[in-house]
Amino acid sequence: MASIFTKIINGEIPSYKIAEDENFYAFLDINPNAKGHTLCVPKVEVNKIFDLEERTYHGLMEFSRKVAIALENAVECKRVGMAIIGLEVPHVHVHLIPLNDMKEMTFQHKVALTDEEFKALAHEISSKL
């Protein structure tokens, strides 16, 4: 069965899209650690990051870097943190999290945003690409 992220990439489930190219897709995390928390996903559905083909792994890092720079220019933060976990969704994804405090990397501290706030954030971040 297709992963929830494959369904997002295929447009079967809505997302707050930030960027897309031939091989990768970036969108806002629906349960963010901080405002602007973004996920970068390879279109190929692979569970664990180090099982990606080397070319896709490096491509994902390159794509994530571009998105992270846009994110840092769009959202007030000290820096953008990166995490790769995958315990919830078995489809490789890079978490990019605008950081002002260490608690934002714990995945225990969450922020609630309205639909309008998600839309405005996605627009602001993608405008910096």
Q: What share of the chain is helix, strand, coil (3-state, %, to 5)?
A: 35, 20, 45
Min separation Cβ 22 and ligand AMP, Å:
21
Catalytic residue ranges: 93
100-119: which residues touch ligand AMP (CB under 6 A)? none
The footprint of ligand AMP on residues 44-103 (CB under 6 A) is 85-89
Instruction: Report d(CA 104, CA 97) in Å as an integer.
Output: 7
Name which of 40 and 74 has its Cβ closer to ligand AMP.
Answer: 40
> Token digits for 38?
């973004």
Q: How far is the CB of 37 from ligand AMP (least distance, A)?
A: 7
The verdict on 30 binding ligand AMP (CB under 6 A) reads yes
What residues line the site for ligand AMP (CB under 6 A)? 4, 13, 15, 29-31, 39, 85-89
